[in-house]
Structure 1
Amino acid sequence: MDFPPYLGSMPMHAITEMHGEPGLLERFRLEIEGFDEPARERLNAALDLTAELHRDDRRVREPYLNHLLRVAIRMMHHYQVRDVDVIVAGLLHDAVEDHPAELAGTDGGADPTGAALAALAERFGSRVARLVAAVTNPAYDPGRDRHTQYREHLAVSLEHEPWARVIKVSDFTDNGVGVIHTVGPKVVSSATKYRPLVPLYRDLIARPDTPLSAAVKRHIFGQLDLAEERFSAILDRPAHSH
């Protein structure tokens, strides 16, 4: 497939709309060109694994892999992340939650999440596994509101994992700012889930120990503002316009 010479500077939603998964894979390849060979090998190994695990997964109109690619590309391009463990964890951030048995290579026994994290640690190191653990949702209490439990989990799990905040805010940006690229009833449900998280992410990113430059933090605050505007447009419309 032929891609335009300016693919490396195209907005990711434009790449997704025009070129789909092949375009995002090519953009990922362009982003990792500046890394040394051992780093590129690890990044490609993580990409191969996540592509295999999520091969049958879809999110609304697209392959799920597109979301994982955008999360990783955003960290490299917009957040200037050069820490390979963080990018690997970004690619694999949903692997333990969505495919623990496949990742562990067994039924996972009594603790499929623990087995999947151990398999991840064996393949990519304990730090990658720790970062993925921090962004993996626990089992929820069915008697309590899921959205409330999700917010509580994030506040606790990201408190002492500054790099996990970076992964999670890229994930949130793809889900939150990208809500306008969603269709059907998921638009309102996503906006309802994500809107209360904006102040939490704003606080976490503003913290001095969050390892991003001042310019990158300003960029993220702008994205959070944009997400808030979009949630407001979806959820605050007068009743007669629904």
Structure 2
Amino acid sequence: MKEWITVLKAADAAARWHVHQKRKGVAQEPYINHLLEVAMLVGDATDGKDTNLVVAALLHDAIEDQEVPREMIAEAFGEDVASLIEEVTDDKSLEKQERKRLQVAHASKKSNRARVIKLADKTSNLRTISTSPSPEWSVKRRLEYVAWAREVVVGLRGVNDRLEAEFDRAAAAAEQSVTPKL
């Protein structure tokens, strides 16, 4: 039971750390909605058996987006959580295209637990493309994102059938959201 209190503390930390961040879509949702969705996907896919993984899912963007020091995360939530977050964090000092290339190249080299977080993150992002795409994103850019996400997920497959099926549904829905109805 104590571990679920830690999950709630992580949700609180995520909400505080990302308080001013919004999703890029037209709905301008609070960013915490994305973090909660990723954590929910991870928790559901693992039947809630790995609370540290759920905590890491809640906090997966803290270092990358909010520059939360890794040491702060390790002190508050433990080394296991901090290591998982570090493993899924992109190096923002690199150009965007290089970061995207590295996600494809490194996907299959990640630990199974990190792969679950990445898969849930990509699923959530694709769901957003379907329901609340960024007004700055053209149809071409949305389709390119779906294609890139599929490339990344090639290296993530084999860790969780349920989550992979969720990703496949989200990718299909994102593509259908820009396809004219004939």
TM-score of the superposition, structure 2-length normalised?
0.82
Paired letter, 2:166? Q
Distance 1:154 1:117, change over 3 A: farther
User: Does the C-alpha gap of structure 1 residues 162 and 187 become closer, same or farther in structure 2, counting only changes over 3 Å?
Assistant: farther
Structure 2 partner of 1:192:
144
Aligned residues: 176
Q: For 2:144, what is the secondary structure of its paired residue?
A: helix
Q: Deviations over 1:165-208 (max 9, x none)?
A: 101111110111331112323364344234223143144222xx
The percentage of counterpart residues that share the same residue type is: 27
Deviation at 1:84, TM superposition (A): 1.2
Aligned to 2:60, the other structure's residue is in SS state: coil
- Tell me the equivalent position of 1:201: 153
2:11 corresponds in structure 1 to 47
State whether residues 151 and 197 of structure 1, in contact with CA within 8 Å, keep that contact through their aligned partners in structure 2: no
Q: Post-superposition shift, 1:52?
A: 0.6
Distance 1:141 1:71, change over 3 A: closer
How far 1:225 sits from its partner (Å)?
Answer: 2.9
Q: How does 1:80-229 map to 2 (within 5 A)?
A: 80-100=47-67, 103=68, 116-142=69-95, 146-156=96-106, 159-183=109-133, 184-186=135-137, 188=139, 189-206=141-158, 210=159, 212=160, 217=161, 219-229=162-172
Cα deviation code 1:10-62 (max 9, x no counterpart): xxxxxxxxxxxxxxxxxxxxxxxxxx1x1122111111111111111111321
Are residues 67 and 222 of structure 1, via their aligned partners in 2, closer, same or farther at CA, if it must alter by over 3 Å? same
Q: CA RMSD in A?
A: 2.5
Say which SS state the counterpart of residue 223 (structure 1) adopts: helix
Higher relative contact order, chain-length normalized (CA < 8 Å, sep 6+) = 2
Counterpart-to-counterpart distance in 2, 1:132 and 1:158: 17
Question: After TM superposition, which residue ranges in structure 1, 4 or more long, deviate above 4 angstroms?
Answer: 234-237
